[in-house]
Structure 1
Amino acid sequence: MQFIREPLIAVSIVWGLLARLRGSIRRRWEGADPNRSLKRHAVYVHFHPEGVVADFVAAQLREFSRLGFRITFVSNSPTIDDQLITILSPLCREIILRRNTGYDFGAYRDGIMSIPDLPSTQCLVLANDSVYGPLFPLDELLGRCDPEVFDVWGATDSEEIAYHLQSYFLVFYGRAIKSRAFWRFWFWFPNIDSRKFVIKCGEIGLTQRLVKAGLRVGAVYKCVDAEIRKARKISSVEALPRDPQIEAFLALIETRKPTMFNPTHFFWEELVIYERYPFLKRDLIRENYWKVPFGQPWHKVIVEHTSYDVAMIDKHITHQR
């Protein structure tokens, strides 16, 4: 296993592999599997401290089901109410409740390994509840993920730290699914409760491993197009009343290559308005760590440029307070 050569991380990996001996899956429910005749799978990862399945999550699952995906729903929540199982079951192939260990990548791994016909799968999507949407029909995004161009697609990519596809939405096609690199990565991925590890060795490590194995990877909304997004962002921000936060942001955005920024935070508004990008990161609304100013309020962007039911976002935000 060659995630990384740093000794401390190597020790953490060994510890994380030993932790897997305990087992992470707590309970399974068999779903109705409405698309059982198809060879398209989606692993959807969920977390809520009280086990709630929000309306926006249910809407995402319905969209995957509509498009013919067999859904493996994996929850890192402490519990799931049996009443929610009756909501999830008609949409899903299987529902898995697991210990919250290894973050989304640990959950992705357990979901992937639970798919019995994975080697014959034509398309596998990994997605999680870190985003609201789809703001536009999901088949628009999937229609741009051409298996003749790339074996693995992301909605977005980034060169921050190292080139990688962002893991909130990934699409794998047959050549990638059958590859030794894919299987080795997921089979050996450890349960390590470190966000830094999961980003470095999970999100970034996955892309780097697949590229090294000769697989073709790329994104629909490519970071190489970030220069025009940056220009649009600066133009919209400069039109706002000046304050110290605006000045600090403009100074920051001029100091780094635009490909180094997280596009889902820094250029979300531009992506939605000009490129029909279908997602809104939850942590952009909740925390906005980089204090990215919006030319327009996010609520207005969604209402004026998409047909998404913004009430689902409002309801979720209200319940989280």
Structure 2
Amino acid sequence: MVEERVGGEFAAAVAGGKAAVIAHWSRSPQVTLSVRALVGQLSAAGYAVLLSSSSPAGPLVWGDLDLSRVAVLRKPNVGYDFGSWAVALDRYPDLAAADTLVLTNDSMVGPFASIAPQLDLLASSTTDVWGMTETAQFTRHIQSYFLGFRRGVLRRPALAAFWRDVRHYDDKQLVIHRGELALATLLHREGIPLGAAFPAGSVVGLADNPTIIGWRRLLEAGFPFVKREVVRSPHLAPDGDRVAEVVRDLYDVDVADWMEHDEAHGEGGEHG
């Protein structure tokens, strides 16, 4: 692993404060608008941001984004998002002690608008584990594209052991079952309650995937993201061919601008 860039304020901002780790992959060194916008908003909200990148490309190109609170950790392209997060937690142990730690990935297009309302919900949550969307698909769980951990809960022995024992699978389905779903099972067993901006059943049926089946309702409810998979493969979602129209009407942005360089953003970045 190599630290390509470490912002001068990153390390000092982590301990006891707010931090975010973004799992990233792209064939291109050009950082997408979605990742730049997410990093920029998290940084502006006071988060120290670590991009855990398995991109095989050369030094990443960020444009004029302020990176003073940002670090980039380059790692081998294995393990999908859970592998990227586990490497980051091992490399920077203070992350687990942060009062608020966000683990997120680059599988969403957006944010098309401010995520301050969602970050405020996380900050005011009475639960120690929080997410954007919850589903009962397979088992009740928070979808792993955006996870929030409060009050140093990751220092609990069972959770520390979970992240220490993460295996770097190349099979996406194995990552889902032994990462996302296994974490949900562990949290239930440990009696750790979960919170979500959109609880299971609030957007779509309990067993449906809200980011696919409920993409439009989420956008209309102020969730400024759409799953990249829906934009690329609109046949997977109801009215998926209307994503660009709906985003333009609701957020006054052109999805095509957000998909620039996305042809280089392949399966290595699809999670959650």
Common fold by TM > 0.5 = yes
Query: Judging changes above 3 Å, is the alpha-carbon distance between structure 1 residues 278 and 33 closer, same or farther for their aligned structure 2 residues?
Result: farther
Looking at structure 1, the residues matched to 201 and 163 of structure 2 have their Cα atoms a distance apart, in angstroms, of 28
Report if aligned partners of 2:28, 2:265 keep a CA contact under 8 Å in 1.
Answer: no
1:106-131 deviation digits (Å, cap 9, x = unpaired):
00111122224235310000111110
Give the superposition deviation at 1:317.
Answer: 4.8
The equivalent residue for 1:48 is 26
Looking at structure 2, the residues matched to 307 and 161 of structure 1 have their Cα atoms a distance apart, in angstroms, of 36
Report if aligned partners of 1:302, 1:310 keep a CA contact under 8 Å in 2.
Answer: yes
Give the superposition deviation at 1:290.
Answer: 2.9
Report if aligned partners of 1:121, 1:177 keep a CA contact under 8 Å in 2.
Answer: no
Which of the pair has more CA radius of gyration?
1
The equivalent residue for 2:218 is 271
Structure 2: stretches of 5+ with no match in the other structure:
267-272
Report if aligned partners of 2:3, 2:72 keep a CA contact under 8 Å in 1.
Answer: yes
Whose helix fraction is larger, Structure 1's or Structure 2's? 1
Looking at structure 2, the residues matched to 319 and 200 of structure 1 have their Cα atoms a distance apart, in angstroms, of 27
Give the superposition deviation at 1:261.
Answer: 0.9
Query: Helix, strand or coil: the match of 1:135?
Result: coil
CA RMSD of aligned residues (A): 2.5
Give the superposition deviation at 1:291.
Answer: 4.5
The equivalent residue for 1:285 is 231
Q: Percent identity?
A: 27
Higher relative contact order (CA 8 A, sep 6+): 2
The equivalent residue for 2:75 is 98
Report if aligned partners of 2:125, 2:195 keep a CA contact under 8 Å in 1.
Answer: no
Query: Helix, strand or coil: the match of 2:78?
Result: coil
Asked whether 1:76 is paired with 2:51, we answer no
Give the superposition deviation at 1:98.
Answer: 0.8
Asked whether 1:306 is paired with 2:251, we answer yes
Query: Judging changes above 3 Å, is the alpha-carbon distance between structure 1 residues 175 and 75 closer, same or farther for their aligned structure 2 residues?
Result: closer
1:41-86 deviation digits (Å, cap 9, x = unpaired):
100111112333112211211111101111111111113326x278
Query: Helix, strand or coil: the match of 1:28?
Result: strand
AA in 1 matched with 2:3? R
Report the count of equivalent residues: 263
Looking at structure 1, the residues matched to 265 and 90 of structure 2 have their Cα atoms a distance apart, in angstroms, of 32
The equivalent residue for 1:28 is 3
Looking at structure 2, the residues matched to 62 and 74 of structure 1 have their Cα atoms a distance apart, in angstroms, of 16
Looking at structure 2, the residues matched to 188 and 31 of structure 1 have their Cα atoms a distance apart, in angstroms, of 26
AA in 2 matched with 1:186? W
Residue 63 of structure 1, aligned match among 33, 37, 41: 41
1:256-299 deviation digits (Å, cap 9, x = unpaired):
xx1111100001101211x11121100111124634224x8211
Query: Helix, strand or coil: the match of 1:285?
Result: helix
TM-score of the pair, normalised by structure 1: 0.74
The equivalent residue for 2:139 is 162
What does 1:1-321 align with in structure 2 at a 5 Å threshold? 25=1, 27-34=2-9, 36-37=12-13, 39-81=17-59, 84=61, 90-146=67-123, 148-226=125-203, 229=204, 258-273=205-220, 275-288=221-234, 290-294=236-240, 297-308=242-253, 310=255, 312-317=257-262
Query: Helix, strand or coil: the match of 2:130?
Result: strand
Report if aligned partners of 2:134, 2:140 keep a CA contact under 8 Å in 1.
Answer: yes
Looking at structure 2, the residues matched to 320 and 149 of structure 1 have their Cα atoms a distance apart, in angstroms, of 36
AA in 1 matched with 2:182? G
Moved more, 27-36 or 87-96: 87-96
Report if aligned partners of 1:147, 1:173 keep a CA contact under 8 Å in 2.
Answer: no
Report if aligned partners of 1:207, 1:217 keep a CA contact under 8 Å in 2.
Answer: no
Query: Judging changes above 3 Å, is the alpha-carbon distance between structure 1 residues 59 and 98 closer, same or farther for their aligned structure 2 residues?
Result: same
TM-score of the pair, normalised by structure 2: 0.87
Looking at structure 1, the residues matched to 229 and 167 of structure 2 have their Cα atoms a distance apart, in angstroms, of 25
Looking at structure 1, the residues matched to 137 and 179 of structure 2 have their Cα atoms a distance apart, in angstroms, of 14
Structure 1: stretches of 5+ with no match in the other structure:
1-24, 230-257
